[in-house]
Amino acid sequence: MNKKTLKLVIIDYGAGNIKSIQFALKRLGVEALLSNKPTEILTADKIIFPGVGEASSAMNMLKKKGLDLLLPQLKQPVLGICLGMQLLCNHTEEGNTKGLGVFDVSIKRFSNQVKVPQMGWNTITNLKSKLFNGISENEYMYLVHSYYAENCKDAIALTQYSLVYASALQKNNFYGVQFHPEKSSLAGEKILKNFIEL
Amino acid sequence: MLTKRIIPCLDIKNGRTVKGVNFIDLKDAGDPVALAKLYAENGADELVFLDISATVEGRKTIFELVLQVAEQINIPFTVGGGITSIDDVAKLLKCGADKVSLNSSVIKRPDLINELAAKFGSQCIVVAIDAKLIDGQWMVHLAGGRIPTKWNLFHWAKEAENRGAGEILFTSMNNDGTKKGFANNALKKLSEELNIPIIASGGAGNPQHFIDAFQKGKADAALAASVFHFGEIDILDLKKELKKNNIEVRL
């Protein structure tokens, strides 16, 4: 896909470090549009759904803008990052929040047998998607999170932290990554590039 | 497996990188954006920018610097120094900082930790603690170690965790600038008493000090400045050395 004509929208609903994603895309030659307008989102070629912070308040912000109904209907490739990925799931224990139900999996909190949040670089394995073209097994990704998606049929990458969980998900046109590709050095940039080129 | 992190710290004054020996005598060690890029390419896992002039003087230039760093580097970074309000944090995160580090302002008003954690999430709230060992007690100090407080290090760290801090950056004032190693006993106690990551700071002089901070001090990350800035330790070489000692690192 031509990077100059690609319309990539980052959903701007008030939750998350959007600037870093925007800059990472810019380093790849893509000028992303920040928007929460349904018309812009519906006409985009690719959509990134970011999210940092607390689940129930992020979901409320999404609802306030009417995006909770729009998002699951999208037909173009959608990439949820971190909390964005978690909100695309059925339910999260964080604030006992109902999710958008795209991925058929629940989000649970890590047990206190490990430090919570998990913060730092961990490996991804069992890679199963075009999103990971050119990424080797056991590549390191940067993660910061207290809640995780259980291993499930939509899992396209696994990570171990006190247990094995799904660190990336895919169902049809929807992709989700628990890690931050925009902060994961060259390997992370490669994943963003793969998404752009899907 | 989750790896141990190596974090170069860039002390910033008027937009330039400086490093103090025991926080006094400042030496210029370069342009922060260029240095940040170099570290990111050379295996640093994260970066910390501390505006050390902040609590004493003004600090308006930091926002422009944060934007430039976010634009050019592809690893996470924390910004600290003189952050006193929710508004400061919102602005820094908006400029592209991943985490903010707070010190004096949360000692003066601990509720700020709760407010920030509720608004932005614990994952981006680092509580930095400078402590000095006095008569067998680790006492928390403010303003780069100049002002003592009533807080004991372990009590304050626990309080910060309970209020929603996502990480503790512990600097030993006794070790800082000495290049004789980190305060491993205090680190170990912190790491065992708290359930959030602990960053070791103050005292790095050679690779063995990092090995000790991870193995003896049970730290999750180790931070240093001058040994990296003046090229005394190369980060890639350091991480290879850690790996040789069975410490999990990203290589």
- CB within 8 Å: A183 and B75: yes
pLDDT at A25 over 90: yes
Asked if the structure places residue A117 within a domain, the reply is yes
Where does the pLDDT of residue A15 fall: very low under 50, low under 70, confident under 90, or very high at 90 and above? low
B34-43 per-position pLDDT tens digit: 888 889 999 9
**A2 inside domain:** no
- Does A21 reside within a domain? yes
Q: Where are the beta strands (DSSP E) in chain A?
A: 8-11, 33-35, 46-49, 78-81, 89-92, 97-98, 103-109, 118-124, 139-145, 147-150, 155-161, 163-171, 174-177
pLDDT for the residue A16: 67
For residue B197, the chain A residue with the least C-alpha distance is A115
Clarify whether A82 is annotated catalytic: yes
State which residues form the domain around A172.
8-196
Q: How far apart are CA A146 and CA A111, in angstroms?
A: 9
Domains held by chain A: number: 1
What integer best gives the mean pLDDT of chain A? 94
Rounded-to-integer distance, Cα B192 and Cα B172, Å: 17
In sequence order, what are the residues at sequence separation of 6 or more whose Cβ sits closer than 8 angstroms to the Cβ of residue B66? Answer: B49, B79, B92, B95, B96, B97
Output A19 or B154, whichever has higher pLDDT: B154
pLDDT computed for residue B26 by the predictor: 37
The stretches in chain B having pLDDT less than 50 are 20-28, 56, 58
Residue to substitute from B1, B2, B242, B243, interface A, most A β-carbons within 10 A: B2
**CB contact set of B14 (below 8 Å; sequence gap of 6+):** B53, B61
User: Superfamily assignment of B5-244 in CATH?
Assistant: Aldolase class I (3.20.20.70)
For A29-63, how does the pLDDT look when each residue is reduced to its tens digit (9 = 90+)? 999 999 999 999 999 999 999 987 788 888 998 99
CA distance A8 to A29: 12
Q: Look at residues B162, B163, B65, B183 and name the one whose alpha carbon lies nearest to residue B113.
A: B163
- Which ipTM score applies to this complex? 0.91
* Distant-in-sequence, close-in-space partners of B210: CB < 8 Å, separation ≥ 6: B6, B204, B222, B224, B238, B241, B242
A66's CB contacts (< 8 A; 6+ apart) are: A38
Residue of A nearest to B42 (CA): A185
Q: Do residues A59 and A68 lie in contact, with contact meaning Cβ atoms separated by under 8 Å?
A: yes
For residue A1, pLDDT beyond 70: no
Q: What are phi and psi of A82, to 5 degrees?
A: 55, -115
In the prediction, which pLDDT does B24 show?
Answer: 37
A121 pLDDT band, cuts 50/70/90, is: very high
In a domain, A69, yes or no: yes
How far is the C-alpha of B138 from the C-alpha of B175, rounded, in Å? Answer: 12
Is B195 touching A (CB cutoff 8 A)? yes
Closest in A19, A24, A116 to B195, CB measured: A116
Tell me, rounded to whole angstroms, the distance of Cα A79 from its chain centroid.
5
A3 assigned to some structural domain: no
Torsion angle, CA of B225/B228/B230/B236, rounded to 10 degrees?
Answer: 180
- Find the mean pLDDT for residues A79-97: 95
Give me the pLDDT at residue B70, please: 94
Looking at beta carbons, which residues of chain B come within 8 Å of A189?
Answer: 74
- Provide CB contacts within 8 A for B213, sequence distance 6+: B181, B182, B184, B187, B200, B204, B219, B222
- Give residue limits of the domains in chain B: 5-244
Q: How far is A165 from chain B (nearest CA, A)?
A: 12
Residue B28's pLDDT is what?
A: 47
Instruction: Characterize the bridge pairing of strands B125-134 and B137-142.
Output: antiparallel
Q: Is A182 assigned a catalytic role?
A: yes
Distance from C-alpha of B97 to C-alpha of B244, rounded to nearest angstrom: 33
Tell me the chain A residues in contact with residue B221 when contact means C-beta distances shorter than 8 Å: 120
Q: pLDDT for A107-117, tens place per residue?
A: 999 999 999 99
Q: How far apart are CA B168 and CA B102, in angstroms?
A: 10
